[in-house]
Amino acid sequence: MGSSPADADSSRSYAGAEEYDFDIQEKDMKTPVKKYLLVLGLVTAAVMGIDAHHAADAHDALVKSTPANGSVIPASPETIALKFSGKPAAVIVHLLGGEGEEIADVLGEPMIDGKSINIPVTGPMRDGDYRLTFRISSRDAHTVEGAIKFTVQHAEPAAQ
């Protein structure tokens, strides 16, 4: 008599496995597999969460400016310098006056030098409050925006 597919399936013969018992019930596999997949999922989620946290921390941030934020300087600066935690790829800057009006023709073209951006001041800055706004694109393509405020207060000539 020939063997039917059902007979072949029930015998489950494997080459070189004659001495092992392969009679494993499907329900016996479900619990360990479920536990393994649950642990694997939790570990993956934890690692992804850590990576996402580090990626968020990796965005370029302003670490120093000249003039310093909130400072009062005695004369119009020759250059405004911004230093970032990473290397910016592109930058847009605007200079605003104390009333929020944009002041044109005072700043030259920003120059990126590694982690620093140097903005030449090409025109006079009168006494008053100023706000330099910036928007940079970091090398990882994230956009970072910010501003620094400073006051120009020219020194009074000494009375003679």
CATH number, residue 134:
2.60.40.1220
- Residue 76 is part of which domain span? 62-152
Same domain, 41 and 86: no
Residue 71's pLDDT is 98
Give the global pTM: 0.62
Same domain, 51 and 74: no
Per run of 10 residues, the mean pLDDT along the chain (length 160 residues) is 49 46 52 66 62 55 97 97 95 96 94 97 96 92 94 79
Length of the chain: 160
Residue 8's pLDDT is 47
The DSSP output letter for 123 is S
Place of tokens 């580090």: 54
Domain count, the chain: 2
Four-residue CA torsion sign, 57, 59, 60, 61: negative
Residue 60's pLDDT is 86
Same domain, 47 and 67: no
